[in-house]
């Protein structure tokens, strides 16, 4: 009997605490007038940073939180700090960000969605962020084991963060009807952000290679908030890029010129092909053409997709396919089966970044262009850092 009484008291106290925290959170989140929730397969971190920087440039007191390659918190004065996690990523983290923003009396928050499971995406929006503006960057085949093996399934999962009775922006074309159907059920107005509104001059202000779609999304959100294009672009050009953005490192070694495009973060076939297509149209694929594919043991589904892409769509333009990371023997077999000639493949496996650099240098006659794809995890980040360091030596 005594144990039952004690357990009952504990249950009542826990319930009171839970209700109190829920009410406090609602008070905090609704004290922040502008709440922007950014979701999608690719470009979430970049778009989040662009919007946050534009709002700050317009004089709006803004707290920005990105998950990206590395989780970061950007305060209203532009100070950026790393988010330290004692354990793995957890959506409860978003509650702490809301609390911080409320305590600092932020007028706006721009938050990148960190949930993958559809039910958690739903909880993050409906229970935590309560967005006044939603963003779905695009819909790509990724995290298929969690969100679904088809684009419509993934669109349904991402659509969980479309806010009810608000406005939402997307640059997705093919799955726009599916997203619109979800939005209409939530009485949300879905808008298409046309990348054609972004000029080459607009893009020239970035210190890195920014996608038109990302810039268009940020501008569309800013327009709804009454921020003019000049102010928004001025802020966007000042934005600190995420570690996963597309950056080119140009370097000279032993009389050879290497152009290293870090596209490790574009780790699905559609995004990778879009980048390769843009580089080809702009005639930036010069010299020896090398695809550097980094794979991870826990993302073999992605490796299979990229192997198929390399054989079916990139085999005709590449001179060498360099494989690094985990399970590269299996990936080599997949690439050959997809149509890549074995004599074009250089399988380095898990190795030191310096060995990767040496291999690419040996493949280069006078000039080469390297498109690094697959994943920033594992060997991706160290290899990208090495090429960045070498490029700084020759700036």
Structure tokens at 346: 């250089």
Look at residue 70 in the predicted model and tell me its pLDDT.
Answer: 75
End-to-end Cα, the chain, rounded Å: 77
- Which band of pLDDT confidence, cut at 50, 70 and 90, is reported for residue 339? confident
- Which band of pLDDT confidence, cut at 50, 70 and 90, is reported for residue 315? confident
Distance CA 150, CA 148 (A): 6
| Nearest one of 243, 221, 236 to 67, comparing CA atoms | 243
Look at residue 271 in the predicted model and tell me its pLDDT.
Answer: 78
- Which band of pLDDT confidence, cut at 50, 70 and 90, is reported for residue 2? low
Look at residue 340 in the predicted model and tell me its pLDDT.
Answer: 86
Please compute the mean of the pLDDT values over residues 111-127 and round it to a whole number. 93
Please compute the mean of the pLDDT values over residues 193-222 and round it to a whole number. 93
- Which band of pLDDT confidence, cut at 50, 70 and 90, is reported for residue 386? very high
Residue 145 backbone phi and psi in degrees, to 5: -70, -15
The least confident of 119-123, 165-169, 295-299 is: 295-299
Strands 167-170 and 34-39: unpaired
| Nearest one of 233, 258, 264, 259 to 246, comparing CA atoms | 264
Distance CA 333, CA 347 (A): 11
Helix axes 93-103, 2-29, angle to 10 degrees: 50
Look at residue 12 in the predicted model and tell me its pLDDT.
Answer: 58
Q: What is the Cα 40 distance to its own chain's centre?
A: 8
Residue 247 backbone phi and psi in degrees, to 5: -130, 140
Look at residue 163 in the predicted model and tell me its pLDDT.
Answer: 97
Please compute the mean of the pLDDT values over residues 189-214 and round it to a whole number. 92
Q: Is the pLDDT confidence value at 270 over 80? A: no
Could you give the count of Cα atoms lying within 13 Å of 266 in the half-sphere of its Cβ? 21
Q: Is the pLDDT confidence value at 138 over 90? A: yes
CB atoms closer than 10 angstroms to residue 108: 24
Q: Is the pLDDT confidence value at 277 over 90? A: no
The least confident of 39-48, 159-168, 335-344 is: 335-344
Could you give the count of Cα atoms lying within 13 Å of 361 in the half-sphere of its Cβ? 14
pLDDT tens-digit series, residues 278-293: 888 888 889 999 999 9
Look at residue 176 in the predicted model and tell me its pLDDT.
Answer: 97
What length does the chain have? 395
Please compute the mean of the pLDDT values over residues 118-133 and round it to a whole number. 94
Q: Is the pLDDT confidence value at 393 over 90? A: no
Task: Tell me which range, 154-168, 204-218, 253-267, 284-298, is most confidently predicted by mean pLDDT.
Answer: 154-168
The H or E element containing residue 4 is: helix 2-29
- Which band of pLDDT confidence, cut at 50, 70 and 90, is reported for residue 4? low
Q: What is the mean pLDDT of the chain?
A: 88
Look at residue 322 in the predicted model and tell me its pLDDT.
Answer: 94
Asked if residues 244 and 66 have their Cβ atoms less than 8 Å apart, the reply is no
The reported pTM is: 0.77
Which domains are delineated in the chain?
30-238 (3.40.1190.10), 247-393 (3.90.190.20)
pLDDT tens-digit series, residues 208-235: 888 899 999 999 999 999 999 999 999 9
Distance CA 51, CA 267 (A): 23
Q: Is the pLDDT confidence value at 296 over 60? A: yes
**Which residues pair with residue 322 across a beta bridge?**
292, 346
Q: Is the pLDDT confidence value at 15 over 70? A: no
Distance CA 367, CA 372 (A): 16
Distance CA 361, CA 347 (A): 15
Distance CA 345, CA 275 (A): 21
Report how far apart, in Å, the C-alpha atoms of 376 and of each of 36, 177, 215, 324 are: 26, 32, 23, 12
CB atoms closer than 10 angstroms to residue 20: 10
CB atoms closer than 10 angstroms to residue 393: 9
Please compute the mean of the pLDDT values over residues 141-169 and round it to a whole number. 93
User: How buried is residue 38: exposed, middle or buried, by Cβ count under 10 Å (0-12/13-18/19+)?
Assistant: buried
Structure tokens at 71: 């989780």
Using left for φ > 0, alpha for ψ between -120 and 50, and beta otherwise, residue 47 falls in: alpha
Distance CA 333, CA 329 (A): 6
Distance CA 222, CA 212 (A): 15
Distance CA 78, CA 74 (A): 6
pLDDT tens-digit series, residues 51-61: 999 999 999 99
Q: What is the Cα 326 distance to its own chain's centre?
A: 22
Look at residue 182 in the predicted model and tell me its pLDDT.
Answer: 97
- Helical residues (DSSP H) of 136-284, grouped into ranges: 144-147, 151-158, 176-185, 200-204, 212-224, 229-238, 269-281
pLDDT tens-digit series, residues 88-103: 677 888 988 999 999 9
Report how far apart, in Å, the C-alpha atoms of 210 and of each of 22, 43, 107, 246 are: 39, 10, 27, 7
């Amino acid at each position: 009997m005594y144990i039952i009484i004690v357990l009952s008291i504990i249950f009542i106290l826990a319930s009171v605490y839970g209700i109190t925290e829920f009410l406090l959170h609602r008070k905090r989140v609704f004290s922040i007038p502008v709440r922007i929730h950014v979701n999608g397969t690719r470009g979430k971190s970049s778009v989040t940073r662009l919007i946050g920087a534009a709002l700050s440039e317009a004089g709006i007191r803004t707290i920005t939180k990105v998950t990206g390659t590395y989780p970061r918190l950007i305060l209203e004065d532009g100070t950026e700090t790393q988010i330290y996690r004692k354990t793995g990523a957890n959506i409860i983290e978003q509650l702490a960000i809301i609390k911080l923003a409320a305590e600092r009396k932020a007028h706006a928050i721009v938050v990148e969605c960190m949930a993958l499971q559809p039910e958690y995406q739903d909880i993050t929006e409906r229970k935590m962020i309560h967005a006044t503006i939603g963003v779905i960057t695009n819909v790509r085949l990724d995290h298929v084991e969690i969100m679904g093996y088809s684009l419509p399934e993934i669109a349904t999962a991402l659509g969980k963060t479309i806010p009810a009775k608000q406005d939402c922006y997307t640059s997705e074309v093919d799955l726009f009807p599916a997203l619109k159907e979800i939005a209409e059920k939530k009485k949300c107005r879905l808008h298409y952000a046309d990348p054609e509104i972004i000029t080459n001059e607009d893009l020239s202000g970035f210190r890195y290679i920014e996608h038109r779609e990302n810039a268009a999304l940020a501008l569309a959100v800013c327009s709804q908030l009454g921020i003019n294009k000049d102010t928004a672009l001025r802020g966007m050009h000042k934005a600190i890029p995420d570690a996963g953005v597309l950056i080119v490192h140009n370097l000279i070694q032993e009389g050879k010129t290497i152009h290293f495009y870090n596209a490790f973060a574009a780790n699905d076939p559609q995004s990778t092909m879009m980048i390769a297509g843009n580089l080809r149209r702009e005639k930036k694929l010069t010299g020896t053409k090398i695809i550097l594919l980094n794979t991870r043991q826990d993302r073999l589904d992605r490796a299979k997709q990229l192997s198929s892409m390399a054989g079916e769509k990139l085999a005709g333009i590449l001179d060498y396919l360099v494989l690094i990371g985990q399970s590269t023997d299996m990936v080599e077999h997949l690439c050959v089966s997809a149509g890549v000639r074995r004599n074009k493949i250089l399988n380095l496996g898990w190795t030191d970044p310096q060995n990767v650099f040496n291999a690419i240098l040996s493949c280069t006659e006078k000039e080469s262009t390297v498109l690094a794809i697959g994943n920033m995890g594992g060997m991706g980040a160290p290899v990208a850092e090495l090429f960045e360091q070498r490029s700084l030596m020759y700036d």
